[in-house]
Amino acid sequence: MNHCARRTGRDDTPGGGCGGLTWGMIHAAPARKATGAGAPESSLSAPARELRDAGLQMGAPAPAAPGERASLPRRMSDVLPAHREHPRTLGANRYVYAVISRRAGGVSIGVNLSPHKACNFDCTYCQVDRTTPGTEKTVVPEVLRAELRAVFEAAASGALAAEPRFATSPAEMRRVVDVAFSGDGEPTNEPWFPEAARILAEERARAGLRDLPVRVITNATVFHRPEVAETLRFLDAHGLDVWAKLDAGTEPYYRLVDRSRVPFERVLANLLACARERTVTIQTLFARHHGEAPPAAEIAAWAGRLRAIREGGGRIGWVQVHTVSRVPAESFVTPLSLEELEPIAAAAREALPGTRVAAYRGSL
Ligand code: SF4
């Protein structure tokens, strides 16, 4: 998943670490009514009622620690907190954030299912900051639901797109365009992915966002697991759009860049199986390693993998070719220029005539 860049608040590449804990904090909807303990039942949103029932109030001081339900946000303002400037601050939200995504074309709601920051890949270009520990080992379903509910409500009301941190973005980018599983690890590899998918689908429908695409930004390593395949099929009925990583054409280059113990053949087989069931987007990050651009033979092999997916009955709707845009895990990784990316994109176009292929410049 080129997920990492999503977590920096402005996703000038779409991925590169799999998510985005840097959301610009979301303001409560301007029209939101008072929600204190004395507010009428009808004036309370469901999350506000949930928090009130837990002894909490929107904007009210948190209760004393003894007896506190640690699994819930302590205040509604922790779910819809005030704007903060620090680009890598998650605020009080633990899993749900928002970024401007250039490739998605607007404001993308991100869902990080890997707060522990572990991943079954170790991409040289990963932009997840692993110099600091993860925040927690698991995802608490009721907290995820409360965060999604609040953010979806803000999306539906227009408050999310109007959030001040997006004010400097072009007007056409200030609209909510998707919700994406894209965090600090591989979302489909998390045991709570199936439940998280169900919660997301329920809250998306509850907010009336039935047309909002649900993206899964993924490295495709575990699609073969029955529970993952079933979850993807479930999400097919709820706006699923798979964005899957393919960073190499050969096993050695895959080992060099993605540094995973998962066999490359497993990734390729999973990509093919997935693309036979639904149209997928392929995300590819090419960069310079120790000053060396990917060899021409590697580019040709990569294009051949794309062709093989199509010839095998898979459907690829979009190929995104990009490079490093955030500080990578390894200092020996540096971006390619757009002039270097364009021939790579051209190789994909030749392999997949008629398919949308785009190259995205880096920003380092
Ligand atoms: S190491 Fe994991 S989180 Fe980072 S870019 Fe690779 S797949 Fe994404």
Q: Using 50, 70 and 90 to split pLDDT, how confident is the model at 54? A: very low
Segment 265-293, tens digit of pLDDT = 999 999 999 999 999 999 999 999 999 99
* Whether residue 337 sits in one domain with residue 246: yes
* Whether residue 65 sits in one domain with residue 14: no
* Whether residue 193 sits in one domain with residue 241: yes
Cα–Cα distance measured from residue 176 to residue 105, given in angstroms and rounded to the nearest whole number: 9
Residue 219 Cα to ligand 1 midpoint, Å, equals 8
Please tell me what DSSP assigns to residue 16. S
The share of the chain scoring above pLDDT 70, in percent, equals 75
Range of the domain at 50: 41-78
Segment 296-316, tens digit of pLDDT = 999 999 999 999 999 999 999
* Whether residue 298 sits in one domain with residue 174: yes
User: Is the residue at 34 inside a domain?
Assistant: no
| The residue to which tokens 């292929």 are assigned | 357
Cα–Cα distance measured from residue 285 to residue 274, given in angstroms and rounded to the nearest whole number: 20
Sign of the alpha-carbon dihedral angle for 296, 302, 307, 312: positive
- Please report the pLDDT score of residue 103 as a whole number: 87
CB 1 within 8 A of CB 13: no
User: Is the residue at 309 inside a domain?
Assistant: yes
CA angle 102, 103, 104 (to 5 degrees): 95
pLDDT, mean over the chain = 81
Segment 85-99, tens digit of pLDDT = 323 333 589 999 999
* Whether residue 114 sits in one domain with residue 23: yes
* Whether residue 191 sits in one domain with residue 69: no
Ligand 1 pocket, CB under 6 A? 1, 3-4, 16-18, 119, 121-123, 126, 128, 185-186, 219
Pocket perturbation via mutation, ligand 1, pick of 2, 7, 13, 18 by most ligand atoms within 8 A of CB: 18
User: Is the residue at 54 inside a domain?
Assistant: yes
Pocket perturbation via mutation, ligand 1, pick of 2, 3, 125 by most ligand atoms within 8 A of CB: 3
Residue 254 Cα to ligand 1 midpoint, Å, equals 13
| The residue to which tokens 């590449």 are assigned | 13
* Whether residue 152 sits in one domain with residue 105: yes
* Whether residue 87 sits in one domain with residue 74: no
* Whether residue 127 sits in one domain with residue 270: yes
Segment 172-194, tens digit of pLDDT = 999 999 999 998 999 999 999 99
The share of the chain scoring above pLDDT 90, in percent, equals 68
Mean local confidence (pLDDT), 7-17: 42
- Please report the pLDDT score of residue 241 as a whole number: 98
Domains held by the chain: number:
2
More confident residue, 140 or 8: 140
* Whether residue 292 sits in one domain with residue 233: yes
* Whether residue 48 sits in one domain with residue 183: no
Q: Quick check: helix, strand or coil at residue 7?
A: helix
Nearest atom (ligand 1) to Cα of 120: 2
